[in-house]
Structures are given as structure tokens and as C-alpha cells.
Amino acid sequence: GDSVTQMEGPVTLSEEAFLTINCTYTATGYPSLFWYVQYPGEGLQLLLKATKADDKGSNKGFEATYRKETTSFHLEKGSVQVSDSAVYFCARPMEYGNKLVFGAGTILRVKS
Amino acid sequence: DGGITQSPKYLFRKEGQNVTLSCEQNLNHDAMYWYRQDPGQGLRLIYYSQIVNDFQKGDIAEGYSVSREKKESFPLTVTSAQKNPTAFYLCASTPDSYNEQFFGPGTRLTVL
């Protein structure tokens, strides 16, 4: 069925470290894929997206590449900042639309 | 400015009282959603509506009710039948259910 699996957190990094948050999905087709970010006490914001295989989404120094061979959409950033501390959600539409399927969310904590 | 508004940001109610959370969008989106988020947890879908005067139950609809009389508005009522209503409630909308959803800032409901 439709599912999204994210690595468990929390992930704790020092400022300027490299970040990877893993996301894999199940699908019979090629759904659009999304990364959302949620800062404390706020709603979710779309961070980046990719709509077809091999697409790379990027925003604010974050990147993720749609890899159909490994059904993955890992989020990366070369140098994290304290201000990147937030919860990150991977998501995809359900096979027949109507709703999004979200991963469980990964807490990122960046220390100065 | 186009967007989604939720009001109020913080809401306090006594146990046994019904309470209605507001969600308004001026994005001209057809589909709207309500999610519940508990501390440190992911998102759970309560109700969604793909068109005016129609809505469907999500994964945790018990103890909640909604209406969709106007395209712009999708209010959520938390009834006294909801056993643990204290949570963060998020509203979202999308023009196309195969693509990303846009989220409001959320309402934090505390039942005393």
C-alpha cells in the first residue's frame, strides 16, 4: 500500500555539520514527493518537492533527489545552522489521490 | 496576501464543552483538511473535504464534526465525546489532491 518511512530521531548535530534524513516510500507508480519543515509551535511549510524520477528539489540549502531505483527521497544539507532545528516530514500523495501520506517526522536539533 | 488562517492560536476550554476551531483560506482551493498533532508525534487526519457540501472521515474522526458550507471555510468542532481533545490542530488546503498541501499556523487546544 501507500507508505512513507523516515529515519527515527532525534538527530543531533553540531553547527556546520552535514545532514542526511532518510525517507523511503512504497508505490506502484511515480508519485510526487515532498519534504515539509515544522518549526516549534508553527504549522508545516513545504520545504521542497520533486514531481518525477531523477528530479532534484532544492530550497534554503536543502536538497533531495527522487530516486525510483531505491524508492528514496533523502533530505540533505551540507552545513546545518542552529536555525534549522525543527521537525522534518517526508510525504507523498496516496495512490488514488485525496490525501497525503506523511512519515512520522524526524526531529533535528542543531547545537552551536 | 493569499493563505490559510486559523483562529484562535490558543484556545482553552473546560471539560465537557464543545469548541469550534476556525479555518479560512483565500487561495481558491477546493480541498481542505484537518489534522491533529500530539506532542512529539506526527500528523493524524481527522476529516477532509474535496468540495463544498461534502466531506469524509479521516483516521480519527470520532468525537469531531465538520461542515463545508463555503469553499473558503472548513470549521472543526471538537465535541465532548472526544476523550483526549488537548492537542495541536492543523488545517490545510490544496487545489489538487495529487500535489502539496498548504498549512495554516495551527490552533493549540487545551482542555482543563
Q: Residue A19: which residues within 8 A CB-CB, separation 6 or more?
A: A11, A13, A75, A76, A77, A80, A84, A108
In Å, the largest CA–CA distance within chain A is: 44
The pLDDT of B94-99, averaged and rounded, is 88
Residue B22 has pLDDT above 90, yes or no: yes
pLDDT (mean) for B74-85: 94
Q: Cα(A76)–Cα(A108) distance, rounded to whole angstroms?
A: 12
Top residue of A7, A99, A107, A108 to mutate, by most chain B CBs within 10 Å, is A99
Residues of A with Cβ-Cβ distance to B24 under 8 angstroms: none
Kindly tell me if the per-residue pLDDT of B1 is higher than 70.
no
Q: Give the number of other Cβ atoms within 10 Å of residue B80's Cβ.
A: 14
Q: What is the pLDDT of residues A15-71, one digit of tens each?
A: 999 999 999 999 888 899 999 999 999 999 999 999 999 999 999 999 999 999 999
The pLDDT tens digits of the residues spanning A61-109 come to: 999 999 999 999 999 999 999 999 999 999 999 887 789 999 999 999 9
Which cell numbers in the block locate residue B71?
Answer: 469553499
